[in-house]
Amino acid sequence: MSRCKMIALSSAGILASVVTSPAAGEVRYDPASRVFRLTGGDTEYDIAIDEQGYLRPAYWGKALDAATPITLPLLPAPPVIGAMDPPSSVTAQEYAGQGGGIVTEPGIKVAFADGNRDLVLKYRSHRIAGETLTIELADISRPFTVTLRYTVDPATGIVGRSATARNDGKAPVRIDQIAAATLTLPYRPGYRLSYLAGRQLAEFGFAQQDVGPALAVLESRRGGTSNHMSPWFAIDQKGVSDEEHGPVWFGTLGWSGSWRISVGTDLIGRVRIAGGYNPYDFSWQLRPGETLETPIFYVGYSDDGMGGASRLQHRFQIAGILPGNGRPKVRPVLYNSWEATEFAIDEAGQIALAEKAARIGVERFVMDDGWFGKRDSDRAGLGDWTPSRTKFPNGLGPLIDRVHKLGMEFGLWVEPEMVNPDSDLYRAHPDWVINFTGRPRTESRNQLTLNLARADVRDHVLKVLDELLTTNDIQYLKWDYNRSFSEPGWPEQPVADQQRLYVDYTRNLYHILAELKKRHPRVEIESCSSGGGRVDLGILRYTNQVWTSDNTDAFDRLTIQDGFTHAFTPAIMMAWTTDVPNWATGRTVDLSYRFLSAMQGGLGVGNNLNKWGAADFDVATRMIADYKTIRETVQTGALYRLARPGDGGPTVDTLYVADDKRQAILFHMLQNYQARDDVPAIRLRGLDPDRRYTVRLAGGGKLPDGIPASALGSRWMSQGVTIPLRGDFKGAALIFE
Ligand code: DGJ
């Protein structure tokens, strides 16, 4: 039984000596010290109520040791505080209202109807139910409360944090800004921020910068998650942390609308982090008795470097976020004809491709864009979700039946939130799109965004999709979303409620997805947005996989996948082999390299199979057969980034180890070889040192000289393995069993 021995609080700061060893997955409150302790995995997150009733961040890091009294220099007052810096700002709060003179980022900022904009939140009550803690904060004089919610995951220690504002007054209160959580790290030198930034065709670029007083703002202002930035951050310590060692704090928002995460140091070098709805263009009128709830900010800590942080997040997402009640199904191998045919599709052409796909072991055949309405290009048809009469004169039935007879599932592309002005839907309902009355409607890819925040639009979209899934035997939807908001108006609402658009849109999107899952529980959904523009822990509660990027170049993908796996599990990361030269990069690499790149997540084939020769079919058949023997490990095992793109070496080496350690796969991808390159042995990690592993090459073939056919795990981890590749863009995958 753990115990808090002593904790002393002062207005200048909190100094705590704690002797304790909490069990995993617990929330406890010590009334003597007024400290809440949340523990899970190897992590601990503590909060304290100070003597004035403010809620203070107390500790976030490795679980505190049982035997050693630990002093927590939580909020030390600097030796001198000038008059310019109010103590309320210097002493960090766990979740502050904008008020009492704070000049740092608040959790919430409001305006009362009488013009008062001062909100000072203090502890009122709390409740502990299993692994969930709720703490109610109340303003010092007004009937306005914020309830903070914390749920700790026992296995990983990841804490899901959110906030709910409630107006108990008699007049409306305008909320201008509301974060799911604010977080504080004590002063330490060398804090470094990692984040993922890019654009369409180059999503998930891993970037780093020092954390300093200049606020770093990661965000999307465009209504959706975005291809530009991912709602994820990690902070480590330069010179202390690396890929496999040292502290890393991380967090990711479960929200598919406009979001913001800000990171910076305050005036005494403590890191302050805030994450939640993007305050940009945000305004919410909270009427008497109403509440506004934020999305969840999932935050965690690893003592094992960036790799350890990734593995915790992967585990958490598989067990706690993805559909499947903690056991998501492995990703079937899919075929998708988009790159092969684009809009030039019809029944005979799709059947011809399906027959070839079935031959190589594909399990799910997906028909992409172009099957409906007048959709012969991206200029028309979106919104009219009935099969094209010319391309599918007998509806989708004959194609679906044929695909099923070939032993595959059938999947279909949709983009339900969008409409082309050249469509029957838009002609009937021009008011259904997001717009400002009398202002231009900016088109992007010749399309406009339906205002899903409207109940009638939401119900229409749900009805159309429900009918599609009811009248056709469909196992999977690829749900696309190919533009950002513009002119974000909602003219039918009272002016004070028009900016609810950003939140109500996303909530209704989740409603449609949840309802479809309920009515059609066996249908799986892929989240796609011009590639990886909608990947976040909000949408992942309803979708089984994501389209990682429209960039299918096998070499570029290694960089994209490297960034992706910092925040998200490979269990959802779809990758296809496609034709060469690659349309986006002009690069030509051989088919086995393309397979080895795509096999590092959920495998798909996107080639024009009509152009393949016997040798291509042979490579594909062998690779797909082997992929099926390793996919569970790749998708749900422990990932180790042994050599990363951009590390300076000629290779990218990625290792996946099964949870029971009975299998491991090492992907060794050589970019280009120069005679001067030293080829270091690749030392594996995470194997059972006492178990003997045999090794074989994915796709078959003789093991290179010098690699023993079997050896103990300890040998693979200490001496490593040397794979003598030569040339440009060559790859090999070793399967250890
Ligand atoms: C964008 C997606 O990312 C592509 O894979 C493809 O589905 C096109 N849309 C179709 O319009």
Q: Which atom of ligand 1 is nearest to the CA of 478?
A: 7
Please list, in sequence order, all residues whose beta carbon lies within 8 angstroms of the beta carbon of residue 202, skipping any fewer than 6 positions away: 549, 551, 556, 560
703 contacts 695 by C-beta, under 8 angstroms? yes
Q: Which atom of ligand 1 is nearest to the CA of 528?
A: 3
Q: Using alpha carbons only, how large is the chain's radius of gyration in Å?
A: 27
Pocket test for ligand 1, best of 227, 342, 369 (most atoms within 8 A of CB): 369
3-state helix, strand, coil in the chain (%, to 5): 20, 35, 45
Question: Quick one: tokens of 586?
Answer: 């002009």
Q: State in Å: Cα 282 to ligand 1 middle.
A: 30
Q: State in Å: Cα 480 to ligand 1 middle.
A: 7
Instruction: Please name the amino acid found at residue 658.
Output: A
Query: What's the pLDDT at 15?
Result: 31
For the chain, domain boundaries: 95-320, 364-547, 640-736
Residue nearest to atom 1 of ligand 1 (CA): 530
pLDDT per residue over 249-258, tens digit each? 999 999 999 9
Burial group, residue 389, by CB count within 10 angstroms (0-12, 13-18, 19+): exposed
- C-alpha 588/C-alpha 594 separation (Å) is 10
Q: Which atom of ligand 1 is nearest to the CA of 368?
A: 7
E strands, 198-350, in order: 205-210, 216-220, 232-237, 248-254, 259-265, 271-277, 284-286, 291-293, 296-302, 334-336
Lowest-confidence segment of 67-71, 309-313, 421-425, 672-676 by average pLDDT:
67-71
- CA nearest 537: which of 177, 57, 158, 59? 158
The catalytic residues are 480, 550
- C-alpha 734/C-alpha 695 separation (Å) is 6
Query: What's the pLDDT at 587?
Result: 98
Q: pTM, whole model, 2 decimals?
A: 0.95
Q: State in Å: Cα 458 to ligand 1 middle.
A: 23
Q: State in Å: Cα 5 to ligand 1 middle.
A: 59
Query: What's the pLDDT at 90?
Result: 81
Orientation angle between helical segments 614-636 and 591-598, nearest 10 degrees:
20
Confidence of residue 646 (pLDDT cuts 50, 70, 90): confident
Is the CATH number 3.30.70.420 carried by domain 364-547?
no
Instruction: Please name the amino acid found at residue 611.
Output: K
Please list, in sequence order, all residues whose beta carbon lies within 8 angstroms of the beta carbon of residue 606, skipping any fewer than 6 positions away: 335, 336, 337, 338, 339, 340, 552, 576, 577, 578, 579
Instruction: Show contacts of 581-589: CB within 8 Å, 24+ apart.
Output: 582/552, 582/553, 582/554, 582/556, 583/339, 584/201, 584/550, 584/551, 584/552, 584/553, 584/556, 585/551, 585/553, 585/555, 585/556, 587/553, 587/555, 587/556, 587/729, 589/554, 589/555, 589/729
Q: State in Å: Cα 206 to ligand 1 middle.
A: 24
Please list, in sequence order, all residues whose beta carbon lies within 8 angstroms of the beta carbon of residue 95, skipping any fewer than 6 positions away: 55, 107, 108, 121, 137, 146, 148, 163, 179, 181, 182
Residue nearest to atom 2 of ligand 1 (CA): 530
Identify the DSSP state of 662: S
Q: Give 436 or 83, the one with higher predicted confidence.
A: 436
263 contacts 193 by C-beta, under 8 angstroms? yes
656 contacts 676 by C-beta, under 8 angstroms? no
Pocket test for ligand 1, best of 337, 339, 368 (most atoms within 8 A of CB): 368
User: Which residues line ligand 1 at a C-beta cut-off of 6 Å?
Assistant: 338, 368-369, 413, 480, 482, 528, 530-531, 547, 550
State whether the Cα torsion 537-541-542-548 is positive or negative: positive
Q: What is the 3-state secondary structure (H, E, C) of 545-586?
A: EEECCCCCCHHHHHHHHHHHHHHCCHHHEEEEECCCCCCCCC
Residue 418, pLDDT above cutoff 70 = yes
Pocket test for ligand 1, best of 375, 417, 444, 547 (most atoms within 8 A of CB): 547
Three-class DSSP category at 467: helix
Residue 242, pLDDT above cutoff 70 = yes
**Taking phi first (over 0 means left), then psi (-120 to 50 degrees means alpha), and beta for anything else, what does residue 324 get?**
left
Residue 670, pLDDT above cutoff 50 = yes
Confidence of residue 693 (pLDDT cuts 50, 70, 90): very high
pLDDT per residue over 597-624, tens digit each? 999 999 999 999 999 999 999 999 999 9
In DSSP terms, which residues pair with 68 in a beta bridge? none
Residue nearest to atom 9 of ligand 1 (CA): 530
Residue 16, pLDDT above cutoff 60 = no
Residue nearest to atom 10 of ligand 1 (CA): 369
Position of tokens 């809620």?
Answer: 55
**Taking phi first (over 0 means left), then psi (-120 to 50 degrees means alpha), and beta for anything else, what does residue 352 get?**
alpha
Number of helical H runs and strand E runs in the chain = 12, 39
Question: Which superfamily, per CATH, for 640-736?
Answer: Golgi alpha-mannosidase II (2.60.40.1180)
pLDDT per residue over 109-139, tens digit each? 999 999 999 999 999 999 999 999 999 999 9
Q: Mean per-residue pLDDT for 293-314?
A: 98
Q: What is the DSSP string of 178-194?
A: EEEEEEEE---TTEEEE
Question: Which superfamily, per CATH, for 95-320?
Answer: alpha-galactosidase from lactobacil brevis (2.70.98.60)
Looking from the CA of 264 toward its CB, the CA atoms found within 13 Å total: 11
- C-alpha 138/C-alpha 147 separation (Å) is 8
Q: State in Å: Cα 482 to ligand 1 middle.
A: 8
Query: What's the pLDDT at 14?
Result: 33
Query: What's the pLDDT at 186?
Result: 82
Q: Mean per-residue pLDDT for 143-151?
A: 98
In DSSP terms, which residues pair with 711 in a beta bridge? 693
- C-alpha 223/C-alpha 505 separation (Å) is 8
Confidence of residue 74 (pLDDT cuts 50, 70, 90): low
Query: What's the pLDDT at 459?
Result: 98
Q: State in Å: Cα 368 to ligand 1 middle.
A: 7
498 contacts 446 by C-beta, under 8 angstroms? no
Position of tokens 């690396």?
Answer: 242
- CA nearest 633: which of 602, 664, 654? 664
pLDDT per residue over 487-522, tens digit each? 999 999 999 999 999 999 999 999 999 999 999 999
Orientation angle between helical segments 554-567 and 305-320, nearest 10 degrees:
80
Q: State in Å: Cα 320 to ligand 1 middle.
A: 29
Q: Give 600 or 90, the one with higher predicted confidence.
A: 600
Pocket test for ligand 1, best of 480, 548, 549 (most atoms within 8 A of CB): 480
Q: Mean per-residue pLDDT for 473-498?
A: 98
- C-alpha 158/C-alpha 151 separation (Å) is 8
Please list, in sequence order, all residues whose beta carbon lies within 8 angstroms of the beta carbon of residue 165, skipping any fewer than 6 positions away: 108, 110, 144, 145, 146, 175, 178, 286, 291, 292
Residue 727, pLDDT above cutoff 90 = yes
Residue 30, pLDDT above cutoff 60 = yes
Whether 640-736 and 95-320 are alike in CATH topology: the answer is: no
Position of tokens 């989708």?
Answer: 396
Question: Quick one: tokens of 153?
Answer: 């995951």
Question: Quick one: tokens of 215?
Answer: 């606020």
Confidence of residue 75 (pLDDT cuts 50, 70, 90): low
Q: Which atom of ligand 1 is nearest to the CA of 547?
A: 3
Lowest-confidence segment of 27-36, 308-317, 356-365 by average pLDDT:
27-36
**Taking phi first (over 0 means left), then psi (-120 to 50 degrees means alpha), and beta for anything else, what does residue 713 get?**
alpha
Considering the chain, what is the average pLDDT of its residues? 94
Q: Which atom of ligand 1 is nearest to the CA of 378?
A: 11
- C-alpha 205/C-alpha 598 separation (Å) is 18
Lowest-confidence segment of 33-47, 54-68, 262-276, 400-414 by average pLDDT:
54-68
Residue 188, pLDDT above cutoff 60 = yes
